[in-house]
Amino acid sequence: MNGSRPLVEVVRLGQVSYQEALRLQQVYVNRHKSGPAHALLLCQHPPVYTTGIRHKPYPAHLLDRLRLLGADVHRTNRGGLITFHGPGQLVCYPVLNLSCFKKSVRWYVCELEKTIISLCSRFGLEASTSPHTGVWVGDNKICAIGIHCGRYVTSHGLALNCNTDMSWFSHIVPCGIEGKGVTSLSAELQRDVSVEETIPHLLDAFRDQFNCQLTDGRTADDRQRRN
């Protein structure tokens, strides 16, 4: 184990399309080719349904029906089944090189779950894990997780419902798990909890759980100025 804690750059993207976030993740993944360059991308997406590497459960006609609802639809190379991203949901994409942490995706996913559980407890909310990956409050999932790992570099990540419009989830079986529901920080705490309010708590929890240092990287404004 190295003496110093790994440095992770926090990149606040604001509201970006799913496609743009994929493109940006790839930029940060590629940076790792010339040495450790960990980043934590934070964003929200316009309404979008995404699926993972298991294609069979989601034939084209099913995805077309979801498009009729006014959402974007994307197949991805992450693990996990179908989920929804939209305004009011804090989406976090850690692009880490696990060589600088622990070379195990099982460990990594577990650490992400613990990070969210810790975040929830900072809000006075008791969350837990289950045999199904993700973070749960009782029988309802508050945070979905789905990641990709190539040459120890991670992409995709987690999606925490802050004040998401939960009705979008009613059109799918979230993560393919029948009989369970979804929830959000706002629903559980019976008050409006925004993404903006949640971000500092996520960063604190992440820093503690992964025992790393965080620095502020690019923001959405920087990106616009550059373009």
Q: Write out the catalytic residue numbers.
A: 175
Look at residue 15 and give its three-state secondary structure. Answer: strand
> Residue 79 is encoded by which pair of tokens?
């693990």
> Residue 106 is encoded by which pair of tokens?
């099982």
With CB under 8 A, what is the number of residues at the site for other proteins? 25
Q: Is 80 known to sit in a ligand binding site?
A: yes
Whether the Cβ atoms of residue 63 and residue 50 lie closer than 8 Å to each other: no
Contact residues for 207 (Cβ-Cβ < 8 A; gap 6+): 213, 214
For residue 223, the minimal CB distance to other proteins (Å) is 28
Look at residue 209 and give its three-state secondary structure. Answer: helix
| Residue 103 within binding range of other proteins, rule CB under 8 A | yes
Cβ nearer to other proteins, comparing 130 with 186: 130
Residue selected from 80, 88, 94, 174 as contacting other proteins according to rule CB under 8 A: 80
Q: Indicate the residue type of 40.
A: L
Cβ nearer to other proteins, comparing 6 with 176: 176
Look at residue 218 and give its three-state secondary structure. Answer: strand
Residue selected from 18, 44, 52, 91 as contacting other proteins according to rule CB under 8 A: 52
- Of 92, 74, 218, the C-alpha closest to 161 is 92
Cβ nearer to other proteins, comparing 14 with 57: 57
Instruction: Determine how many CB atoms are found less than 10 A away from the CB of residue 117.
Output: 20
For residue 77, the minimal CB distance to other proteins (Å) is 6
Whether the Cβ atoms of residue 80 and residue 133 lie closer than 8 Å to each other: yes
Cβ nearer to other proteins, comparing 29 with 41: 29
> Residue 191 is encoded by which pair of tokens?
């008050």
For residue 68, the minimal CB distance to other proteins (Å) is 27
For residue 34, the minimal CB distance to other proteins (Å) is 18
Q: Is 148 known to sit in a ligand binding site?
A: no
Cβ nearer to other proteins, comparing 122 with 151: 151
Instruction: Determine how many CB atoms are found less than 10 A away from the CB of residue 138.
Output: 14
Q: Is 7 known to sit in a ligand binding site?
A: no
Phi (first) and psi of residue 30, to 5 degrees:
-65, -30
| Residue 45 within binding range of other proteins, rule CB under 8 A | no
Q: Point out the annotated binding site.
A: 78-85, 144-146, 157-159
Q: Which residues does the annotation place in the binding site for substrate? A: 78-85, 144-146, 157-159
Binding-site ranges for other proteins (CB under 8 A) = 52-54, 77-80, 103-110, 133-134, 145-151, 175
